[in-house]
Each structure stands twice: as structure tokens, then as C-alpha cells.
Structure 1
Amino acid sequence: MEQKQVLIIDDDQRNIFALKAVLRSRSIACLSAGTGAEALQLLSAGHRVGVVLMDIMMPDMDGYETISALRAMPWNSRLPVIAVTAKAMVGDREKCLEAGADNYISKPIDVDELLVQLQQYLSV
């Protein structure tokens, strides 16, 4: 059976590069999108995505809007989304969860914490 992939959505290519390096070093397949619109196209194309790492602070379509659009797609309504954000102020976690994220991790990312979160979604 084909392994489910992690979809990384981030407008900063350096973040994508770093996350891909960490995940691939642990044999976790991943693909990426630089915008919310690009991510929605990938998800519409039927890739086997097991979990989404969603940057919140993006231009044009931010993470909140992207999560909302993703949740509106019937086949993605239950797709796990982990909000990844540099916004670590009081209330930001709740705002991400209210927007439809399943979990939240702040930047700079604690790799061990990220891997624990990913495992609970990918070990299906």
C-alpha cells in the first residue's frame, strides 16, 4: 500500500526545504505547496495526503482561509491539519483550532513534537 504523504503548505521555500529534509530523513514522504490555492489544486488532484502542515501567515490566501476551503471539499473534510505558525500569542492556538485545524505547533518547530503529532495521523 502506498504511504500517505505529508503536504507542507508554506510561502517560505526555506521552511519547506527544512521540513522536507527533516521528514525525508525519517522516511516520511512529503509534497509541498507555496500558496493556499496551489495546495487546494494538489488536494483536488487526488494525492494520497495523510496530514497537512499549514502555515498560517501567508499572503493572498492565509492558512485560516485555506483550512476553510479545504474543509469545504467533502473528500478532505476529515483530513488532519496541523497549523504551523510563528504566532504564538495567547489565543492563537484556539483561533487555529476554531478555523478547523486539528492541532497546532509554533515556530521555531520542535522536531520531536512535530514527529509525535505526525505519527498519530500517519500510523493509520
Structure 2
Amino acid sequence: MALPVNNNHLYKVLIIDDEPLNILALCAVLKSRGYLTVTANSAKEGIAKISNDNTIKLVLMDMMMPDIDGYEATNLIKNNVRTRDLPIIAVTAQAMAHDKEKCLAAGANDYISKPIDIDILMKLINKHLQ
């Protein structure tokens, strides 16, 4: 019996987070499921990577970062004609109802709170990469 083909390798996910352990954990999860990952330690670095790499298919955006936070970075990405259709999933430790609304108002396509439930994260990723 043939194994199912894993086409996730066709998808490159950018993880933008200022916490190295969060990046490490997310990379491990995504790589174990066949995704390519690219990382950025700041919003500025993430925006630069998006500008220089048109193969990025989805962004996991930490919302609480120094300098440019995820809200401003999401807004900048969504207001750029070239990148406005790039799906962004807001990833934040802030889990109140108004926090989700704030992320979506900034332009995020979806929202997940920390600690991350991997099953929910994978459902969100798959939903936006369909």
C-alpha cells in the first residue's frame, strides 16, 4: 500500500517572533508535517523577507514584539498591493475576546492564542493554504 503524498513541502511558512524558543518549537512542528519554514526575529526582518521572497505562502505573526509590533507589521503587509493577499495568522499570549478582534482589525486572517494547541494551529494553516 502506497503512503499518501505529502504536498506540504510546497508551502513555505514565515514565522515572525522575537522569542527564539517559540520559533524553535513552531519550526519543529511545521517541519515534522512537511512544511518549509523561514524565520524572522523581528517584524522589520519579517517584512524584508516577505518583500524578497515571493514563495512565502503564509505568516505566523507574533503580535507582541518590540519596535514594530505584530499589529503594525500586519497592517503594513496588508496595505501593500503585492502582499495584501498573504494569509497571516496572529499568534499571541493575549487571549481576551477583544484581543482577537484587535488582531483581525489589524488585517490578520486568523488568530490563535498561546500556549498553542497544535491541532488548532494545523487546522488554521490548512484552511488558509487551501
Question: Alignment identity in percent?
Answer: 46
CA distance in 1 between partners of 2:11 and 2:56 (Å): 5
Moved over 2 A (4+): none
CA contact (8 A) 1:4 1:50 kept: yes
CA distance in 1 between partners of 2:11 and 2:54 (Å): 9
CA distance in 2 between partners of 1:73 and 1:90 (Å): 28
What is the count of residue pairs matched by the alignment? 123
CA contact (8 A) 1:50 1:121 kept: no
Whichever of the two has the greater Rg, that structure is: 2
**Alignment partner, residue 13 of structure 1:** 20
Answer yes or no: is 1:107 the counterpart of 2:123. no
Alignment deviations for residues 24-58 of structure 1 (CA, whole Å, 9 cap, x no partner): 01111111101010011101102411111000000
**What amino acid is the match of 1:34?**
N
Please point out which of 2, 8, 11 is paired with 1:4: 11
Deviation at 1:121, TM superposition (A): 1.9
TM-score normalised to structure 2 length: 0.90
Alignment deviations for residues 78-102 of structure 1 (CA, whole Å, 9 cap, x no partner): 1111000000023000000000000
Q: Structure 2 regions of 5+ residues with no counterpart? A: 1-6
Bigger mean CA offset, 5-14 vs 44-53: 44-53
CA distance in 2 between partners of 1:71 and 1:30 (Å): 21
**Alignment partner, residue 57 of structure 1:** 64
**Alignment partner, residue 86 of structure 1:** 93
Q: Structure 1 regions of 5+ residues with no counterpart? A: none
Secondary structure, counterpart of 1:83 in structure 2: strand
**Alignment partner, residue 30 of structure 1:** 37
**Alignment partner, residue 4 of structure 2:** none
